[in-house]
Every structure is written in C-alpha cells, then in structure tokens.
A = this chain, B = another copy of it.
Amino acid sequence: MSEPRVLPLLTGPPPERRDAARNREALLAAARELVERDGVHAVTMDAVAAAAGVGKGTVFRRFGSKEGLMAAVLDHSETEWQRQLMFGPPPLGPGAPPWDRLVAFGWSRLETTLLHADLIRAAGAEGSRSSAAYSLVAMHVRYLLSELEVTGDLPILATALLAPMEIPILDQQIELDGFPLDRVYAGWVDLARRIVGPNAG
C-alpha cells in the first residue's frame, strides 16, 4: 500500500527515463559543439553519436532525423532571443508603442534569421514549421497588429508579414538578386506600413 510519488493530477504524460534524459543532454551538447566547430553541413549523425558516446540508433530515437536534431539545436539557440522579445528592454521588449515594437521586431528578426541561416535550412520543415519558435513569433506579430487596431484576418496578415523574412525568400533577394540588407529591411517596413494603415507611426 504505497502512495503515488506525486499527486495524480500533476502527473504529466509519461516522464522520461534518467538515462534517456542524460543521453538527450549529451547529444544536444555534442551536436551544438560540432555544429559550431565544423559548420552544419559537415556534421554527420555518426559523428554526433560518437561524440556523445552513444549509439547511432539513440540519436534517431531521440530526435527522429537530422532535421529534428538541427531543429533542437536551433531552438536552443533562439531561446535567448525569445527572452529579449518577451522580457527585454524596449523597443523590442514590452514598454514601447506597438508600431515601434513592430519595427524593432522586424530588424531583430532579420538579423537573427540570417545569423542562424544554415541551421534553419538544415532544420527544414521541423525548424520553421511547428516548434515553439514559430508559434511564438506568429503570436507576437498578431498581438502587435491587434494593438495597432488592424482589422481583418489577423492570422493571415501576420503570416504575410512574416513570409518575406523566411530563409528561402531572403536567399532569393540577398544572394540572387543582390539586394543590400538595408533595402530589404526598408521594403519590409514599407510593407508593414501598408498593412497596418493609418495607425502606423
């Protein structure tokens, strides 16, 4: 007749075994290190497994695919930025008027995306789609638009505003068309102004 270890109501889904957790940590650390040292493209799954001192099967069990692993590394890298967005100083963080926040967001997001470009590409669908990362960003933009009293289909408008900041489009404009970064950014601000309408700063 033993008590359950925690109150049943607080029990999440099934927890993770200790060795599993340890291995996830080790793998993530190894992956981060290798990515930083050799660049995303040169990192192989075997190498990550070896560096973490586990078998290859374990890597795939934990992260599903190379995309999944890279998405995890990316998520970790973007955490700090997300903190800035939600709790950092204005105008990126809370406290500034919504239009100023939006403009600051645009620039900061552009920088961050380009900084992590390789990782984002390697994370593929797992990276941009789903994963807390994207939802948070989308939610933030929707929120700012609503603060600016924009009317219309906000989820869709937010997507329209975010789309030109996605890697494939940036690659197109910067690598291929050769537009300088400030022109791309100015274009984005112009787009934002047209979407927001008269309430834009």
Contact = CB atoms under 8 A, between A and B. Distances in A.
Contacts of A191: 156-157, 160, 195
Nearest to A165: B163
A190 B128 contact: no
Total identical chains: 2
B171 A156 contact: no
Contact of A156 (B130, B156, B179): B179
A128 B195 CA distance: 26
A152 interface: yes
A199 to B, nearest CB: 13
A114 to B, nearest CB: 16
Interface of A: 125, 128-130, 134, 152-153, 155-157, 159-160, 163-164, 166, 168-169, 171-173, 176-177, 179, 183-184, 186-188, 190-191, 194-195, 197
Given A134-B172, A156-B187, A159-B169, 20 more contacts: A125-B168, A128-B172, A130-B176, A153-B183, A153-B186, A153-B187, A155-B177, A155-B179, A156-B173, A156-B179, A156-B184, A156-B186, A156-B190, A159-B164, A160-B163, A163-B163, A163-B164, A163-B169, A166-B166, A166-B168
